[in-house]
Structure 1
Amino acid sequence: MAELNAEENELLVLKNKLIQQLNFIYKDVDQTIDYEELSDQLIKLMRLDENCYTPIAYQNHWSQKDVIMITYGDSLLKPDEKPLETLKHFLDNHIGDSINSVHILPFFPYSSDDGFSVIDYSSVNESLGGWDEIQSIAKDRRLMSDLVINHCSSRSAWFDNFIKGEGIGYDFFYTASPDDDLSDVVRPRTSDLLRETDTGKGTQHVWCTFSHDQVDFDFRNPEVLKSFVSIIRLYLDMGVKILRFDAVAFLWKKLNSSSINLPETHEVVRLLRTLLEHAVSDAVIITETNIPNTQNLTYFGNANEAHAIYNFSLPPLLINSLVTGNCLYLKRWLMSMPPSQNGTFYFNFIASHDGIGLRPAEGLLNDYELNSLVEAMQEFGGKVSWRTTETGEPKPYEINIALYDALQGTTKGRDSLGLQRFICAHAIMFGLEGIPGVYIHSLLGTQNDYEKVANTQQNRSINRHRWEYQELQSKLADSENHHAVVLSSLKGLLDIRIKQPAFHPNATQFTLHLGLQMFGFWRQSQDRKQSIFCISNITDHEMELAIHDLNLIMTDNWIELISGIELDMQQEMITLAPYQTVWISNVFHK
Structure 2
Amino acid sequence: MSTMRLDRAVEQPTPHGNLWDQADIIAITYGDSIRSADEKPLQTLHRFFNRHLRGSINGIHILPFFPWSSDDGFSVIDYTSVNEGLGDWRDIKAIARDYNLMADLVINHCSARSRWFENFKARLDPGQDYFVEADAGTDLSRVVRPRTSPLLKAVETLAGQRHVWCTFSHDQVDLNFRNPAVLIEFARIIRQYLDAGVKLFRLDAIAFLWKDPTTSSINLPETHEMVRLLRTLIEHCDKNAIIITETNIPNRENLAYFGNANEAHVIYNFSLPPLLLHALVCGDARHLKTWMMSMPPAQNGTAYLNFLASHDGIGLRPAEGLLSTEEIDRLAGLMQRFGGRISWRALESGENRPYEINIALFDALKGTLACADDGLQLERFICAHTIMLALEGIPAFYIHSLFGTRNDYQRLEHTSQNRSINRHQWDIGRLEAALSDPDGQHREVFERLQTMITIRRGQAAFHPNATQFTMHVGSAIFAFWRQSSNRGQSIFCLHNISDVTQTVPLADINLIELDDWHDLISGERYSNLQDTITLRPYQCVWISNR
Instruction: Give the alignment's TM-score, normalised by structure 2.
Output: 0.99
1:478 match: 437
1:301 and 2:263 correspond? no
Long gaps (5+) in structure 2: none
Q: CA deviation at 1:582?
A: 0.6
| Change in 2 beyond 3 A, CA 1:514/1:48 | farther
Deviations 1:392-414 (A, max 9, x none): 11000001000000001000222
In the alignment, residue 519 of structure 1 is paired with which amino acid? F
C-alpha distance after superposition, 1:462-487 (max 9, x if no partner): 00000111011111111220000001
Q: How does 1:443-522 map to 2 (within 5 A)?
A: 443-522=402-481
Measure the CA separation in 2 of the matches of 1:478 and 1:355: 28
Q: Which moved more, 1:559-568 or 1:477-486?
A: 559-568
1:311 maps to 2:264: no
Match of 1:224 in 2: 182
- Matched-pair contact (CA < 8 Å) for 1:48–1:279: no
Check the 8 A contact 2:507/2:530 in 1, yes or no.
no
Alignment of 1:51-450 (within 5 A): 51-412=9-370, 413-450=372-409
Answer yes or no: is the 8 Å Cα contact 2:343–2:354 preserved in 1: yes
Q: 1:568: Cα distance to partner? A: 2.8
Q: Decide which moves more: 356-365 or 471-480.
A: 471-480
What amino acid does structure 2 have at the position aligned with 1:450?
A: Y
Contact 2:31 2:62 in 1 (8 A): yes
Structure 2 partner of 1:554: 513
CA contact (8 A) 1:154 1:213 kept: yes
Q: Read off the aligned partner of 2:21 and give its amino acid letter.
A: S
Question: SS of the residue aligned with 1:97?
Answer: coil
Q: Could you tell me the percent identity over the aligned residues?
A: 60
What are the superposed Cα offsets for residues 377-422 of structure 1, whole Å, 9 maximum, x if unpaired?
Answer: 1111010000001211100000100000000100022210000000
C-alpha distance in 2 between matches for 1:512 and 1:71: 34
Q: Match of 1:278, as an amino acid? A: H
2:68 touches 2:76 (CA, 8 Å); kept in 1?
A: yes
For 1:566 and 1:276, the matched residues in 2 are separated by: 48
Query: Which residue identity lines up with residue 402 of structure 1 in the other structure?
Result: A
Partners of 1:165 and 1:96 in 2: how far apart?
Answer: 49
- Give TM-score scaled by structure 1 length: 0.91
Query: 1:541 Cα shift?
Result: 1.6
Residue 505 of structure 2 contacts residue 530 of structure 2 at CA under 8 Å; is this kept in 1? Answer: no
* SS of residue matched to 2:54: helix
Q: Residue type of the partner of 2:108?
A: N
Q: Distance in 1 between matches of 2:501 and 2:530?
A: 17
Extract structure 1 runs of 4+ deviating beyond 4 A.
none
* Cα distance in 2 between the residues matched to 1:481 and 1:226: 51
In the TM superposition, what is the alpha-carbon distance from 1:570 to its structure 2 partner?
A: 4.7
Look up the SS of the partner of 2:527 in the other structure: coil
Q: Deviations over 1:327-386 (max 9, x none)?
A: 010000000000000000000000000111000000000012111111111111010000
For 1:344 and 1:516, the matched residues in 2 are separated by: 30
Report the Cα distance in structure 2 between the residues aligned to 1:264 and 1:571, rounded to whole angstroms: 57
Determine if contact 1:174/1:218 at 8 Å carries over to the other structure: yes
Report how many residues are paired: 545
* Structure 1 vs Structure 2 CA RMSD: 1.1
CA distance in structure 1 between the partners assigned to 2:248 and 2:493 by the alignment = 27
Q: Deviations over 1:300-342 (max 9, x none)?
A: 0000000010000000000000000000100000000000000
Q: Which residue does 1:525 correspond to in 2?
A: 484
In structure 1, C-alpha distance between the alignment counterparts of 2:111 and 2:202, rounded to whole Å: 18
- Secondary structure (helix, strand or coil) at the match of 1:244 reads strand
CA distance in 2, matches of 1:49, 1:505: 35
What is the deviation of 1:51? Answer: 1.7
Unaligned runs of 5+ in 1: 1-40
Q: How many Å separate the matches in 1 of 2:14 and 2:397?
A: 29
Residues 506 and 529, structure 2, Cα contact 8 Å, conserved in 1: no
